Homo-oligomer: A and B are copies of this chain.
Amino acid sequence: MLRCLEIADAQGKRENGGRGLTVEHEELLAKLLVRNESKIVLIVLDGLGGMQTSGVSTELHAAASPHLDGLARDGSSGLATIVRPGITPGSGAGHLSLFGYDPLQYELGRGALSAAGIGFELKPGDIAARVNFCTLDERGVIVDRRAGRIPTETNKKLCKKILEEADLGEGVEIFLETEREHRALLVLRGEGLAPAVADTDPQIEGVVPFEPQGTSANGDVTAALLKKLLTQVRTVLAGEAANFILLRGLDTHRELPAFGERYGLRPAAIAGYPMYIGIARLLGMDVFGPKSSWTEEVDELEKAWEAHDFFYIHQKRTDSAGEDGDFDGKVNAIEEVDATIPRILELGPDVICVTGDHATPSQLMQHSWHPVPFLLWGERVGVDHLKVFSEESARGGGLGWVKGTDLMPLMLAAAARLLKYGA
C-alpha cells in the first residue's frame, strides 16, 4: 500500500488571473499535495472517443482489447467532458485539460505548439504561426492544402529560398523552420507585434487563401507585415509544386506553470509527433521523441522508468485514422496499444489512466464534442461492475462523469499523493 511520505511545498504563486473555480481548484491541489514513490502512467489515445450510430458501434467498442478490458475490470471507468459540453477540443486544449490545466484559462495557439515541438525557443513578443506549403492554380485557388505532402527535403529547400529573398524591413526578423513534409513554422520577431491575426488557411480547397486580417486593432500591424511577406513568398515560389503557404494558429510566447512543480512529479513525455512533444515541453516535462511507432514509445517508457514518476505516453494513430474516416485503422491503433499493456504492467506502475484528449469519430472524420471514456487502475481505485472498456459501459462506471481537468486529481488521489482536505 502506498503511503504519503513527505508534504510538498505549497506553491504560493500562481499566474492565473481572476477565474474563480479554476484558481480555487489549483490552490486546493497545491495545498494537499504530497510526494511518495508511486508511479503514474497516463496513456493518451488521441481522439479515442467515438460516436455510436445506427448499426455502427464505436471503434473502442469494436476493438479486441482484452488488456484494456482487464484494466477496466480491475479498476473503474467514467466519462470525461474535456472542455465543456458541446465544445469540440483542439489537440492543445484537449491535452491541457488532461494535464489539469483548464483550457479556457490557458490558451495555446498551434504556432506556439509547433515552435515548442521542434524546439524553437519563442521569446516574449515573438509571433509564431503554423505553416502549410500548399499548391495554388493559376487563378490563385487552392488545389492542394498540403502540396502533395512534399518531402521534408523539398520543404527545407523552399524555406531556405524564402528566407534568402524575404525582407520585412529594419527591425523585423523572419524565421521559417521545416517541421515535416508540408509543415513548417513561421516566426516573426520585432517590436509591436501581436498574435491577433486570423488564419489565412480557409481549411478547404477550391477557394483562395484569406488575406491576413487583424482580429482586433492590435493585430493590424502584424497583419500588414504578413501580407507583405505573403506577397514576397508568392513571387519566390512561382513555378514550384508548392507555390504558396497557408498560415494558422497565430500565437505568441506563453508561460505555463511547470507540470512537475505543480504536481510534485518528475514527468516524462513520450510521443510520436512534434506537436505533442511541444505541449509537453511547454509544461517543462522531460520529452522523449518524436518516436516513429507506438512500440518504440513503449521501449522508451521502459528506459525512462527509473528516473521519472509520471509518464505521458501518446498514441497518435487513433486520431489520424478517425480523421481519415478509417474505422478499422482506428480499431487497429487501439489494439496496438492494447497489446503492449502487459509490458507496461510489468514495470510495476501504481496507477494507470487510459483516455483520449477528445473524440474523433470516424463517421465525422474530425474532432468532436462527444465525451471521452477513461479508466483508472490502481490498488486504491476500487472496481466497479464493468467488464470492458467502452463509451457505453463507461456511462455507468464508478467514476461517473467528470471534467477533463478532474483526471489529474483522480490520478494523484489514486497514487496517494493528495492529503485529505480540512480537519
Chain A residues engaging chain B, CB cutoff 8 angstroms: 10, 18-21, 24-25, 28, 32, 51-54, 74, 79, 81, 83-94, 96, 103-104, 107-111, 113, 130, 215, 248-249, 251, 361, 364, 366-371, 380, 382-385, 391-392, 395-403, 406, 408-414, 418-423
CA distance A422 to B92 in the complex (A): 6
Given A18-B20, A52-B398, A90-B422: A84 and B382 interface contact (C-beta under 8 Å): no
- Residues of the B chain whose Cβ atoms lie less than 8 Å from the Cβ of A418: 86-88, 369
Copies of this protein chain in the complex: 2
Given A21-B20, A86-B412, A422-B90: A395 and B392 interface contact (C-beta under 8 Å): no
Q: 19 A-B residue contacts at CB 8 Å?
A: A10-B215, A18-B20, A21-B21, A52-B385, A83-B421, A85-B403, A85-B409, A87-B413, A89-B420, A93-B421, A107-B422, A108-B423, A249-B423, A251-B423, A369-B410, A369-B418, A384-B395, A385-B392, A395-B398
CA distance A248 to B423 in the complex (A): 9
Contact call B413/A86, Cβ cutoff below 8 A: yes
Which residue from B94, B370, B402, B413 sits with its C-beta under 8 Å from A88?
B413
- Residues of the B chain whose Cβ atoms lie less than 8 Å from the Cβ of A96: 422
CA distance A215 to B8 in the complex (A): 12
Which residue from B84, B87, B366, B382 sits with its C-beta under 8 Å from A361?
B382
Which residue from B18, B103, B422 sits with its C-beta under 8 Å from A422?
B103
Contact call A409/B28, Cβ cutoff below 8 A: no
Contact call A51/B382, Cβ cutoff below 8 A: yes
Best-surrounded residue of A85, A380, A403 (most CB of chain B within 10 A): A85
CA distance A410 to B84 in the complex (A): 10
- Residues of the B chain whose Cβ atoms lie less than 8 Å from the Cβ of A421: 83, 87-90, 93, 103
Which residue from B86, B109, B410 sits with its C-beta under 8 Å from A423?
B109
- Residues of the B chain whose Cβ atoms lie less than 8 Å from the Cβ of A383: 52-54
- Residues of the B chain whose Cβ atoms lie less than 8 Å from the Cβ of A413: 86-88, 368-369
- Residues of the B chain whose Cβ atoms lie less than 8 Å from the Cβ of A215: 10
Contact call A420/B20, Cβ cutoff below 8 A: no
- Residues of the B chain whose Cβ atoms lie less than 8 Å from the Cβ of A74: 54
- Residues of the B chain whose Cβ atoms lie less than 8 Å from the Cβ of A79: 400
Contact call A409/B25, Cβ cutoff below 8 A: no
